[in-house]
Structure 1
Amino acid sequence: MITSGEEVECRTPERLDARLSVVAGVYVAALVAPTLVFVLVERLEVSNGALAVGTLCTAGVAIAAAVAWRVTHLGRTIVWLDRQWLAWLLPLAGVVPMVTHAFSVIEYPAYLLVDPNAAPVTGLVGLLGFGCGIVAVVLGDVLVTMARTRVADAMVDESAVDLEWTAGWTWVTQVRLLVGLVAVVGVLVALAVVSLGWTEAVVSRGALVAATMAFVVVVLATKAQAAPRTYRLTPEGLEQRRPNGARLFTPWTAIDGVTVADRSVVLHRRSIRPDIRFARRDVRLDDERIRTELGQYLE
């Protein structure tokens, strides 16, 4: 049995592959470059759109190359990216430039329709910055997934897997997650409507569209989170593999214990990290063996 006092050191390579390094570089560039160029264009009062776009591309390539080179030589990066809070922070960081440059999405196209010659260059950079924010949101999630998969590759010995099974969440847990996320999104939409002071017409249309899009995102997120996963027990920890091939490794030292309920098995994680759970009905044929194997590693 592994006790809480024992530490499992993650085995990491000295160099990371180019694919992960490039994704990390592009992610950082998408976050930083538009803001830097926006401030530069505003301070220097640049009036040439082509020059601004060229500067943005040059800055983006330079930042991406520098970060990619650094990450390549820093194998511990995958351990840092495997932390639970970064799984939320990295994608959410892309929302910051989206919010910052949201006005440019309306302003710059409006100028192009009314008077293209009067369109501000800052509006063009802001529009591109908004697009880069969307890219950062996507790449943030991809980066975390890639890092977790590489940690699992480094820690899991295929010949030492004790047990493997596939299971999803209970429908009760799925409903609870869906209701909770809908409540949070509903509060955020309501706060946005009140703070922006939209007119009744805008509220009736804009809020409906925003709420519909948010609800679709919440449903998709719930479905992805609750989808059946493949669980594998190893002497070092528990591996989870999603249908898309993404892998997540959790060492036994990060799990406090296990609770077996009527409908599910819950592995309790430390601090504020969400518990690992799966439905017993999905693994009823191996239910007893799973509990026995878990008992060898957890109290």
Structure 2
Amino acid sequence: MAHKSRKKQKASRLDKQRYEEELRRLQIELVTMQQWVIAADARVLVLFEGRDAAGKGGAIKRVMQYLNPRHARVVALPQPSERERGQWYFQRYIEHLPTQGEIVLMDRSWYNRAGVERVMGYCTDEEYDRFLEQVPVVEQMLVDDGIILVKYWYSVSDTEQEKRFRSRLNDPMRRWKLSDMDLQSITRWEDYSQAKDAMFEVTDRERTPWWSIDSDDKRSARINTISHLLSQIPYRRLEPEKVHFPERPAAAEKPRPPIDDLRFVPDHAATL
């Protein structure tokens, strides 16, 4: 059965200069927000889900770019091990939840069960039904405990998805991002659509809502993600502590080894 994609009026691509200027402004604000998270012992968990090649990775990269990595991290779990497959489904995700003063960005999350596992038959109907029954309870427990939970769904059109897949084919730096599983998302487009709709029906709750992002234009998607994320965190601007630079001490009287005795890497840059 041929799928029918829901067409939206294509917006013009965000101008690169305006994008870079606004991205810088928003990334400065992200750093400000993180300082509040640290000071307030807040816990922030952001889930990034969506179609393959929808731009989740690029958005995560821009969110993380200038954050302090001691208080922010990305979680992108591989396929579960044999031991993990024997655990309660949520168990391996729970150990990655944020602690006080930390931001965690999940590049795909427990919603794998309602997406790829459901579509590809990697879980049973019983496991799938149990997941849909438990996930609203689990997420309610997280927010009841004070975790700020934000869930993003990246939406990309079928034509744009295929365009991005093809662009990876001959790109040596992104060829690893094109797998057989990715290509099956083309032939199973309608199955993934139905799985997403069923998932939203159960898990789009008042206190744990899904926020959808139109990602056909990656620049706009990144700007919209960061702007919205900032709006979801009740942070306030903190004045940084004053920094006083010390006087540099005088050079030591003991002579240092000759610089020619050191091993420097070859100056490849000089050959360019």
- Asked if Structure 1 and Structure 2 have the same fold, meaning a TM-score greater than 0.5 normalized by the shorter chain, the answer is no
TM-score by length of structure 2 reads 0.25
TM-score by length of structure 1 reads 0.23
**Higher RCO, 1 vs 2 (CA within 8 Å, ≥6 residues apart):** 2
